[in-house]
Chains A and B, each alone.
Chain A
Amino acid sequence: MNKVVKNAAEAISGVEDGMTLMVGGFGLCGIPENAISALSASGVKGLTCISNNAGIDNFGLGILLQNKQIHKMISSYVGENSEFERQLLHGELEVELIPQGTLAERCRAGGAGIPAFFVPAGAGTEVAEGKEIRMLNGKPHLLETALEADFAFVKAWKGDTLGNLVYRQTANNFNHPMAMAGKITVAEVEELVEAGTLDPNFIHTPGIFVQRIFQGSSYEKRIERVTTRE
């Protein structure tokens, strides 16, 4: 078994126009920077991207938006990006907004073999439109379906040659549930180690969910809102 690929360019091989991709991260925290750069360079287009956010104008998924490589975004919050707004208002981009917890669970369910589930989030709101509603425990719940992707691109702190992943602090976020839901899950890591190096007690994503892994490079790790105290 060889999951290790040389670099991001090799890791994205097989991504084609019109595919659905999951992209991990929360804001700019824990995003797969190397894979996004490689997708940008590849020129692949017509993508549907499932990602909690859409990056900022010149970083994260904002890069693919600027290149007009994205046809549709499935997200919970997209407010930090003026190019996104321009494309949306000009009808160049489709957007589906999903409550954040429902989005995370739809990814997890996709990887866990649960085709649909009921949640209360969105009951009585426009999110409920067109969905089956059932009263459970005395409250209305919406039937939500699992999400899957042709490729899931995730970023971890450490990973081993068998694809076991460990995240750092809040950079886990959507990476773990999305890693579960990719037909091909590509992990990029800050530190790639030999199998047996990571403590099995502290693996966040077991390697069975990961098909390709590579050592990333030149991480910028931009911060959206540096906030400090005196």
Chain B
Amino acid sequence: MALTKEQIAQRIAQELCDGYYVNLGIGIPTLVANYIPEGMEVILQSENGILGMGPFPYPDEVDADLINAGKQTVTVVQGASYFDSSMSFAMIRGGHVDLTVLGAFEVTDQGDIASWKIPGKMVKGMGGAMDLVASAKNIIVAMQHCSKDGESKLLKECTLPLTGIKCVKRIVSDLAVIDVTENGFKLIERAPGVSVEDIRNATQGRLIVEGNIPEMKF
């Protein structure tokens, strides 16, 4: 069975380590915050100017001056700090953020990513995505393996305008955990009940399968 969005987030949460500073993008990546293991201290960065972002507020705590990068109202945890946008991207560009999780339209077996623009549709802009992918030490992409029409989104070359090149380290899709290596995509884990053949058929880029591929555990 292909994973739900929540399960993709849950699997990505297994990549977190105590003491990590993490930037979570909009969509599935935001859900990762719900699965931070008990007792683990992970500090969330929001690029509009928060270290130590907390959960959404209760209705009586909503404050127009306190939002996340998706413009949603949020709270902060104890020990949080606020800062301006150039300071925020100094943290990102300077490699101080340990892990970035973001969504994508397409990725390639070289680690290129397309996530911001679909020609012919309204162009909204790249926001902070290009800064994040160009500088993060570790980038995990949360995405659907195929489009609604069944076309693979794990490709040899992106068909859409690029957000960054040679930057994605790991992909967690609804079908598999896949690493980007020098020789292409490397299959690490399968979603429960999904076969290696299913994943091979859904992957257009070069896929390396070595030995027995375990199922993901939750």
B164/A123 in contact, CB under 8 A = yes
Distance in angstroms between the alpha carbons of A75 and B59 in the assembled complex: 31
A173/B124 in contact, CB under 8 A = no
B27 an interface residue at 8 Å Cβ cutoff?
Answer: no
In A74-131, which residues have CB < 8 Å from any B CB?
75-79, 85, 88, 95, 97, 99-105, 107-108, 119-127
B73/A77 in contact, CB under 8 A = no
B127 an interface residue at 8 Å Cβ cutoff?
Answer: yes
Interface string of B45-58 (1 = CB under 8 A from A): 01111100001111
Distance in angstroms between the alpha carbons of A169 and B46 in the assembled complex: 12
Known: A120-B134, A171-B65, A227-B72. A100 touches B162 (CB 8 A): no
A182 an interface residue at 8 Å Cβ cutoff?
Answer: no
Distance in angstroms between the alpha carbons of A35 and B195 in the assembled complex: 60
A101/B71 in contact, CB under 8 A = no
Interface of chain B, main secondary structure: loop
Distance in angstroms between the alpha carbons of A108 and B161 in the assembled complex: 28
In B143-167, which residues have CB < 8 Å from any A CB?
161-166
Q: Which of A27, A79, A101, A172 has the most CB of B within 10 A?
A: A101
Interface string of B63-95 (1 = CB under 8 A from A): 111111011111000000011111011001100
B135/A121 in contact, CB under 8 A = yes
B63 to chain A, nearest CB (A): 7
Distance in angstroms between the alpha carbons of A30 and B65 in the assembled complex: 7
A229/B89 in contact, CB under 8 A = no
A174 an interface residue at 8 Å Cβ cutoff?
Answer: yes
A153 an interface residue at 8 Å Cβ cutoff?
Answer: no
Interface size (B, Cβ < 8 Å)?
50
Report chain B residues within 8 Å CB of A174: 84-85
Interface string of A162-190 (1 = CB under 8 A from B): 00000111111111110000000000000
A177/B130 in contact, CB under 8 A = no
Stretch at the interface among A8-16, A39-47, A217-225: A217-225
B135/A120 in contact, CB under 8 A = yes
Distance in angstroms between the alpha carbons of A78 and B165 in the assembled complex: 24
A170 to chain B, nearest CB (A): 5
A1 an interface residue at 8 Å Cβ cutoff?
Answer: no
Partner of A27, one of B47, B56, B71, B89: B71
Q: Which residue of B lies closest to A126 (CB)?
A: B161
Distance in angstroms between the alpha carbons of A170 and B126 in the assembled complex: 20
Partner of A77, one of B58, B127, B162: B127
Distance in angstroms between the alpha carbons of A34 and B128 in the assembled complex: 28
B126/A29 in contact, CB under 8 A = no
A151 an interface residue at 8 Å Cβ cutoff?
Answer: no
In B12-70, which residues have CB < 8 Å from any A CB?
46-50, 55-59, 62-68, 70
B67/A119 in contact, CB under 8 A = no
Distance in angstroms between the alpha carbons of A126 and B163 in the assembled complex: 9
B49/A27 in contact, CB under 8 A = no
A48 an interface residue at 8 Å Cβ cutoff?
Answer: no
Distance in angstroms between the alpha carbons of A125 and B131 in the assembled complex: 12
A228 an interface residue at 8 Å Cβ cutoff?
Answer: yes
A223/B162 in contact, CB under 8 A = no
Interface string of A20-43 (1 = CB under 8 A from B): 000000111110000000000000
Partner-A contacts on B (CB < 8 A): 46-50, 55-59, 62-68, 70-74, 82-86, 88-89, 92-93, 112, 122-131, 134-135, 161-166
Q: Would you list 23 pairs from A and B whose C-beta atoms are within 8 A, ordered by A residue?
A: A28-B64, A28-B71, A29-B48, A29-B67, A76-B125, A77-B124, A77-B126, A85-B122, A100-B127, A100-B131, A101-B86, A101-B88, A101-B89, A101-B92, A119-B134, A121-B93, A172-B82, A172-B83, A176-B84, A177-B86, A221-B65, A227-B72, A227-B73
Partner-B contacts on A (CB < 8 A): 26-30, 52, 75-79, 85, 88, 95, 97, 99-105, 107-108, 119-127, 157, 167-177, 204, 221-229
Instruction: Beyond A126-B162, A172-B84, list 14 extra A-B contacts (CB 8 Å).
Output: A28-B64, A103-B85, A105-B89, A121-B134, A122-B130, A125-B165, A127-B130, A171-B65, A175-B84, A176-B85, A223-B67, A225-B72, A225-B73, A229-B57
The 9 closest A-B pairs by CB, nearest first: A101-B89, A79-B124, A101-B131, A124-B165, A221-B64, A176-B84, A104-B85, A120-B134, A227-B72
